[in-house]
Amino acid sequence: MSDAKELTAVQRADLRTVAAMIVPESAEYKVPGADDPAVQADMLATLGRDTVLVAQALDHLAQLAGKPLAELDEVRRDAVAQEFRNDGGAAAATLVRVVLQCYYRDDRVLRSLGLEQRAPFPKGHVLPDGDWSLLDPVKARGGTLRRAT
């Protein structure tokens, strides 16, 4: 079982491959895949406390694949991925979460989703006040609190 503080070259290669399997590049939506170098660099730079579990997940994946993931044909790779996700437990969930949390803060991805590329603070957001006449039926219906005695 891996207890590494950083990923090996083989693990990094498999991380790229599995990241692209989770979120592939899309010309239709004009977004990179999660194997994009910038997204990958973000993952590696911010792995931190997740490193051990992600390394364990990648070791598990390598064990299932028997060789670098990228060398498997598509059918076999999908089967391995499915088995990995079904049986991989907390380590697999952590790996997927790391991929998604870095992917969905990438500027290009946020732009494609129509989201602003910034932290929430200090600008915040503006909410419409909404139509409070929707509450009229509730007011009209009324009601009483249950008595305590």
Smaller CB separation from other proteins, 9 or 145: 145
| 33 Cβ neighbours under 8 A, 6+ residues apart | 19, 20, 23, 24, 25, 26, 39
Closest approach, Cβ 60 to other proteins, in A, equals: 16
Smaller CB separation from other proteins, 9 or 127: 127
**Site for other proteins, rule CB under 8 A:** 21-24, 26, 28-29, 31, 46, 48-50, 81, 85, 93, 96-97, 100-105, 110, 113, 115, 118-132, 134-135, 137-139, 141-149
Distance, CA of 144 to CA of 55 (rounded, Å): 58
Q: What is the radius of gyration, based on Cα positions, of the chain?
A: 23
**Which of 79, 62, 68, 89 lies closest to 2 in space, CA to CA?**
62
Closest approach, Cβ 27 to other proteins, in A, equals: 10
